[in-house]
Amino acid sequence: MRRAAAAAILVTAALPGALASGCGEDEESPPSARAVATAPPPARPAGLPAHVPGRGTLTAHITHDKVLWSRPGGGRRLAGMARRTHFRSPRIVTVVRRRGAWLGVLAPELPNGRVGWVDGRHGARLYRTDWSMEASLSHRRLVVRRGGRVFARARIAIGRPSAPTPRGRFAVTDRLTTGNPSGPYGCCVLALTGHQPSVPQGWGGGDLLAIHATPAEQTIGQAASLGCLRVTNAVMRRLLRAVPLGTRLRIRA
């Protein structure tokens, strides 16, 4: 498909199940979510070129099911990785290392901080993503950049002391709408590769890390969530329209 299809971001497709996130309100059950239809990444020639032109983070569109290995060439099998995510989004992964045809990627099937290696000789199309995000926990601020220029700055709520937001590098896996701006996740969600390691006992919403909206705007700037980063509905709608899958996020102290 042509790059002009990138404008097609408003159509949603129903998904089974609920948003398995570890960061909603304690009293709320996780809502159902819909993945925002995503245009395919820029077309690239078959095979893995030694150099991928353009600016930004090396990114791969995974078009076949893969195995995540502990090291290039194999090693120990860490997990399987399907060509679509749990929410049925295209599998777009951030490449943080590369050794020949082997790609070291971030994936939600892995623990925080773990890199999995996939054989990129078949079913992987490389391109570059010029978007990036950085969150400061101490300043309670999210900065979104495109091509090195600031696209947005926003105050955020972070994890409470009993469920702190994990630090490290993560990437966007899904762009989701909830259909309920007044619910605990607000209008929409950017799901991430990370996991919340300190979800409360009895919480049934899973441990998926995310950036999501909240109708409780008084919590913005506070340590109030179960680990996720919260922004207002207005900010989240803007990010959902613009931030592509595979965008990297660095969470700092």
Residue/partner pairs of 189-192 with CB below 8 Å, 24 or more apart: 189/19, 189/21, 189/33, 189/213, 189/236, 190/236, 190/239, 190/240, 190/243, 191/19, 191/21, 191/85, 191/87, 191/108, 192/108, 192/249
Identity of the amino acid at 78: L
HEC states along 144-212? Answer: EEECCEEEEEEECEEECCCCCCCCEEEEEEEEEECCCCCCCCCCEEEEEEEECCCCCCCCCCCCEEEEE
Integer Cα distance of 227 and 103 in angstroms: 29
Arch. (CATH architecture) of 15-38+130-252: Beta Barrel (2.40)
CATH of 57-129 given 2.60.40, 2.10.110, 2.30.30, 2.40.30? 2.30.30
Q: Kindly tell me if the per-residue pLDDT of 45 is higher than 70.
A: no
Beta bridge partners of 164: none
Local structure of 77: helix, strand or coil: strand
Q: Kindly tell me if the per-residue pLDDT of 127 is higher than 80.
A: yes
Question: What is the reported pTM?
Answer: 0.85
Provide the pLDDT for residue 32: 64
Q: Kindly tell me if the per-residue pLDDT of 3 is higher than 60.
A: no
Provide the pLDDT for residue 205: 58
Give the residue extent of every domain in the chain: 15-38+130-252, 57-129
Of the chain, the percentage scoring pLDDT greater than 70 comes to 80
Q: Kindly tell me if the per-residue pLDDT of 86 is higher than 50.
A: yes
Pick 24 or 251 by higher pLDDT. 251
Local structure of 129: helix, strand or coil: strand
